[in-house]
Amino acid sequence: MATEQDHVTKGETDVDAERGYFGITFASRTKWNLIRLVTVVVYVLMLLPLLVIVVNSFNPSRLGNFPPESLSLRWYTELFADELMLRALWNSLQVGVAAAFGAGLIGTLTAMGFVRKNFRMQDALVIVLLSPLLVPPIIVGVAATIFFSQIGIGRSLMWLIVMHTLLGLPYAFLIIRSQLYLFDETLEEAAQTLGADRVTTFREVTLPLISPSIITAMVIVFVISFGEFTATQFWVKRTTTTVPVVIFSMLRTSISPKIDALATVMLVVTIAIPLAVLGIRRYAMPN
């Protein structure tokens, strides 16, 4: 870092490593500018379509011509008067939060088991645990639907929670395990030397130290659950439908800016809730 500072002259707008180290050669500057150009294009492609959705959700016209001539909350009013939409939103929130807690709990216990205990076939069992990442969601969806119907379990929110916990579990496990690898086990030994039993040690020492990763894991699982469609489409019935399924069926029937309003609500939830939780985590646990 220090060397870099030495080379970079003050007042230049762009402070990149290439120039700092290697002088301002025409070739490397051109290459870096090319890299920046590609980056800008990618960001435009990623973000602009989402921005269009948000802007269009305030467009009073049914045809949704862009840019809107005026702004209104018409579609939000319609959205929040629609019982099916509200129910879907409420279902999605419930399932997301429950799956976050489910995968957070199971992920913590499982990660601790893998890091702290020795048993045979550890490498193979890790792959088993990560396999929900590898099986295409369409197959997870079909397999679970056939399985539950063959053993005679009807569609319910619990079904969604249990399956979304499965889909989030690999993420939760990996995030919590990476924190456990950094964990200083002598702290637990110290607590036990001072007379704490195993449960107290876990509650007073282990949990506070790994909880930041547990919270991150739960946030990620919520996000995954909240947006999952491909497998979930087979698992819902009318009363347990979720927001992505509702958006999909609206796209099939009638495209109107009401979809943009629902998508914007979904964007806000999927971004604001994680940011809020992570922000609180940062505030409450400075480390």
Partner 1 sequence: MSTERARLPAMKDRVMENDWVQFLISPGIGIAWVLGLLFLPMTIILVISFAIPGDFGNVIYEFTTANYERFVNAGVYQSIILESLMYGVVVTLIALPAGYTVGYFLGRSKTDWKWVLLGLVVLQYWVPFIIRTYAWIIVLSNNGVLNTLLMDVGVIAQPLDVMYSNVSMILGLTVSLLPFMILPVYVSVSTIEEDQIHAAKTLGATDFRAFREITLPQSLPGIVSGILFVFIISAGAFLAPTLLGGPTTRMIAPIIEGVFINDFNWPFAAALSMIYFAIIAFLLYLFTRRVDLEEALETGAT
Residues 101-140 touching partner 1, rule: CB under 8 A, are 106-107, 109-110, 112-119, 122-123, 125-140
Residue from 50, 207, 276, 280 binding partner 1 (CB under 8 A): 50
Q: Copy the structure tokens of residue 95.
A: 């399932």
Based on the shown chain and the rule CB under 8 A, indicate whether residue 22 belongs to the binding site for partner 1: yes
Q: Does 39 bind partner 1 (CB under 8 A)?
A: yes
**What count of other Cβ atoms lies within 10 Å of the Cβ of residue 195?**
7
Candidate residues 2, 11, 26, 48; the one interacting with partner 1 per rule CB under 8 A: 48
Residue labelled with tokens 């199971």? 106
Task: For the segment 220-249, give every residue that binds partner 1 (CB under 8 A).
Answer: 223, 226-230, 233-234, 244, 247-248
Q: Which is nearer to partner 1, 156 or 230 (CB)?
A: 230
- Residue 83, Cα to own-chain centre: how many angstroms? 27
> Radius of gyration (Cα) for the chain, nearest Å?
25
Stretch that binds partner 1, among 29-37, 68-76, 77-85, 93-101 (CB under 8 A): 29-37
Would you list the DSSP string of 33-89?
A: HHHHHHHHHHHHHHHHHHHHHHHHTT---SS--SS-SS---HHHHHHHH-HHHHHHH
Residue 36, interface with partner 1 (CB under 8 A)? yes
Question: How buried is 82 (Cβ within 10 angstroms: 0-12 exposed, 13-18 middle, 19+ buried)?
Answer: middle
> 82 vs 270, which CB is nearer to partner 1?
270
* 17 touches partner 1 (CB under 8 A): yes
Work out the burial of residue 173: count CB atoms within 10 Å of its CB; fewer than 13 is exposed, 13-18 middle, 19 or more buried.
buried
66 binds partner 1 (CB under 8 A): yes
* 207 in contact with partner 1 (CB under 8 A): no
Q: Applying CB under 8 A, does 202 fall inside the site for partner 1?
A: yes
Task: Select 271 or 284, whichever has its Cβ closest to partner 1.
Answer: 271
Pull the structure tokens for residue 90. 């409420």
Which residues, numbered 256-285, are part of the site for partner 1 (CB under 8 A)? 259-260, 263, 266-267, 270-271, 274
